[in-house]
Structure 1
Amino acid sequence: MSDRAAQLVERTLPTEEAGELIALVREIAQREIVPRAAEEEDAGHFPRSTFTLLSESGLLGLPYDAEYGGGEQPYEVYLQVLEELAAARLTVGLGVSVHSLACHALAGYGTKEQRAEQLPAMLGGGLLGAYCLSEPSSGSDAASLRTRAVRDGDDWVITGTKAWITHGGIADFHTVFARSGGEGARGITAFLVPGGAEGLVPAAPERKMGLKGSPTAQLNFDGVRVPDRHRIGDEGQGFAIALAALDAGRLGIAACAIGVAQAALDEALSYAAGRRQFGRPIADFQGLRFMLADMGTRVEAGRALYLAAARLRDAGRPYSRQAAMAKLFCTDAAMSVTTDAVQVLGGYGYTADFPVERLMREAKVLQIVEGTNQIQRMVIARHLLGPETGTG
C-alpha cells in the first residue's frame, strides 16, 4: 500500500487538533487493523478487541456531546475518521458508523435523564450498538414495518423480526423501531433495548459475499419487555427519528465507500509502478494511466461531496438531499474504482493474495445498505422535482 501519511497534508481540516486526530487514527489503523484484516476477514472473525481499543481511545463517540462522553467533533472530522478506518478494514469503519447510528436516536431525541443515564456507556464504555429498522418484508419501504410494541402498564412488549442487522447477535444495545399505533409512518415508536433482554433471540449470521467479519443477522423479538423509560421520543415519533438518523448514516456510508476506494486506488498505483511488462513499468502505458486518473478523480470528487454535505450538517442547515447524493455517488464510485483496481492487477487482482478482490466484494454492499442507490435517486429527485404527481 502506498504511503497514506503523505496525503494528510492535502486534507482541508478545520483545526490542528483535527489533523492530530486523523493522524492518530491512521497510526492505530496501520498498527492494529491492517496487519490482520485479510486473515480475519477470510476467517469471518469479528474484531471486538479493536472496537474496545477504539472506545478506550474515544473514537466511538466522536460526533456527540462531551457532556455525555463524546468527542464533540464536527461531522466533517468524524467522517474522515470513518474513511481512514474503512480504508484499513471496512468491517471496522462500517461498524463504527452503525454504532454511531444506533446512538443517534437517544442523543438527539432522548430526555436529559435518559442521556445522562445511558449515553456515557454507549459512547465510551466499551459498548457496541445495533440499529434495528429493516424487516424481512420491509426494507426500502421502512414505514410498512410490522414489529409491534404493545403497552402493558409501565412496560412495552415488543414482538416481531428485524432483518439485516449489523452486529446482530453481538450488540450490547439496540435502537429498535416498532409499530405502537396504526398503519403508516405515524404509528412507529423508537425504543432502546439492551442486548441481554429476555426474548431477544438472534438467528444464525447471514452468509455474505463480503464483510465476512461483520456479523449480519435477523433478530427475533419474542415478547421482549422494556420499561417505558426506554422509549425514545414521543409515541409515534419513531419514523421521523429513523429518517433523521439515516441522513447522518448515509454520510457515514459515503465516507466508508471513499475509504474502500482509496485503499483500492493505493494498491493499483503501487502495483502499476512496480509491475514491468515489455521492458517498462505498466504505469507508463497510456491506457492504464488514463484508467488510474479516472479512479483518482472519482475518489477526490466523492470525498469533496461527502465533506460538503457534512459542513452543511455542522452548520445546522438542511442536508438530506446532499446526504443522498453523497451516498449515491461515493458508493457507485467505490464499486467502479475497486472493479478497475482488479483490472489493473490483472490475474493477480482476481486472487485472494491481493486485497483488491476483497475490496471489490465489500464495495458492493455499500450500494445497498442505508437505502439502496435506487432509493437515493428517488430521494434526490423528490428534492429536485417535488413528489410524484401519480397522474398518467
Structure 2
Amino acid sequence: MIGRLAAALLAVSAMTGSAQAADGSSYAILGFEDLQGWADDDHQAALDVFRNTCGDLNDPDWRALCAMAADTGDARQFFELFFRPVMISDGADPLFTGYFEPELDGSLTRTSRYSHPLYTMPSEAAETRPWLTRREILSTGALAGRGLEIAWVDDPVEAFFLQVQGSGRIRLPDGQSIRVGYAGANGHPYSSIGQELVRRGIYEPHQVSADVIRNWVRRNPDEGRELLFHNDSYVFFREVSEVPAERGPLGAMNRSITPMRSIAVDPAFVPLGAPVWIEKAGDEPMQRLMIAQDTGSAIKGAQRADIYFGTGDDAGQRAGRVKDGGRMVVLLPIQRAYALLPQDPP
C-alpha cells in the first residue's frame, strides 16, 4: 500500500512553507532533517503507540493513514512518507511539564483516617457552567450524603494533586486497588497554587515543585487549606478499574496512555491522536516522537505539552522536576499540512 502512494507523495515531500492564521497563530512546514535527533529515535515504539488510538480518528485522511500503519514494515519511512512536520506557534513561550498516575491510600467507606472524598460528577455540574467553586463544594458540603463518593482518601493534598493529574490508583486497606479517571470538572479555570506561592513571596519560581507545595501545605494546615481554595477548578472522577493494572490510565481519547510516548496537548492547536516531535531542553534534554493522546485544564497553547511519565512515586518525582523550554512540532498528514498554506507551493 505504501508503494502505490510513494511516487505521488514524494513529489511534494521536500516542500516547505509558512503561513499566518487569522487568530495570530503561525504555521511553518519543516523538513524531517530540521528535527534535532530525529534519526536516532525509536520510531517503531512511537508507531505502536500511534496505532493504539489512530482507529478512533474519524477524518478520511487520518483513517487512511491508520489503515497503512497497521501493516507498515518501516516505521521511520511511514512517518516521513505520509506526514509533514508543522511548527505551530501562538506567540507564547514553549513549555514542557510532566505528569504521572499517582497512587493514594484510601477506602471505599469513610473512616476517621479516610475522610476526604473523591466525587463522581453530579448532573447539575454538567448542566450549569460554571458550577460551584472548589471552596463552595468543600466548605458547604454541597455533595455530602448524595451517594456520589467513589472512595475516601487520607490526605487532602494528595486528593488535590490527584485532580491535577486527572487519574490515579487508590490502594485499599485489604491490598486491593481501584482506578479512577477524569469524568469532568466544575467549569472554572485552573489556577496554579505554585504561582500563588510565588506571588505571595513565599518561594522563588525555581524553588516551586509539587513536593515543595505538599510540604508547605502540611506544615501550614490552615493557610494550606486556603491555598488549595485558590484554585477554583474542581475535578470529578469515574471508576475505571476495568483497565488492566499493567496498562496506563485512560487519556482524553479513552485509551490507555504510554509512559514517555504519550503527551497531553491543547486540542485547539494539536489534533488528538497526532504524532508530535518534541525537543525538550533542561537538565534532562529529550528528543523523541510522542503521540498526543491526552489533554489537561492547565495545558493551553500551541507550544504547551505535558509528558506522561508513568505510575507511582518514582514517576511523580521525575515528572515534578520538569518545567522546561524547547519546541514541539506536530506531524500532520501531507494534504492537511499543505492546506494550512495560503496557496499551493511553487
Asked if TM exceeds 0.5, the reply is no
TM-score (norm 1): 0.21
More RCO (CA 8 Å, sep 6+): 2
Which structure's residues are more often strand, by fraction?
2
TM-score, normalised with respect to structure 2: 0.23
Instruction: Name whichever structure is richer in helix by fraction.
Output: 1
